[in-house]
């Protein structure tokens, strides 16, 4: 999966899936570290995207 181009919605949806799996103990212990690492990555990605969007919007509204 090319994670650089992943959309916010896809990233967030994947993040939710991982959380659900963690909550329901459906996640294999074997994959735990990998999934948590993926979750951390997605979380960071989402946060970055939000910051970028927020900055864009503020600039648009500020200059309109």
Partner 1 sequence: MESNVFSLYDLGTLIKRVLSLNFQDKIWVKAEIAGCKVVRGIAYLDLIEKEEGQSDKIIAQQSAVIWQGTLQKINGKLSEPITGFLETGREVLVLVQIDFNVRYGLKLVIDDIDPAYTLGKLFQQRQELEKLIYIEKLHEPNKRIALAPVIQKIAVLSNDQAAGYHDFVHQLTENAMNYAFSLTLFPISLQGTLVEETVLNQLKEILKSKYTFDVVLILRGGGSKLDLAGFDSIHICRAISSFPIKIITGIGHEVDETLSDIVAGISLKTPTAVAEYLLYHNQTFETSIQQMVLKINDIAKYKVQQAKLRILRFQHELSLRPMRVIDKTNTKLENIQKYLPNLVDNRLKKEKVKLSYLDRLISLVNIPSTLKRGFSITKILPDNKPLNDGLIANMEIETIWEKGSFKSIIINK
Interface with partner 1 includes 31 (CB under 8 A)? no
CB closer to partner 1 out of 3 and 47: 47
- What tokens does 52 get? 């970028």
Cα–Cα dist 39/58, whole Å: 28
Among 2, 5, 7, 29, binds partner 1 (CB under 8 A): 29
Cα–Cα dist 36/15, whole Å: 10
Residue numbers at the binding site for partner 1 (CB under 8 A): 15, 19, 22-23, 25, 27, 29, 32, 36, 39-40, 43, 46-47, 50, 53-54, 57, 61, 64
């Amino acid at each position: 999966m090319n994670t650089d181009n992943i959309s916010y919605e896809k990233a967030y949806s994947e993040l939710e899936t991982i959380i659900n799996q963690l909550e329901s103990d459906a996640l294999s212990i074997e994959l735990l570290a990998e999934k948590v690492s993926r979750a951390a990555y997605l979380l960071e990605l989402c946060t970055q995207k939000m910051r970028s969007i927020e900055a864009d919007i503020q600039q648009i509204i500020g200059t309109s």
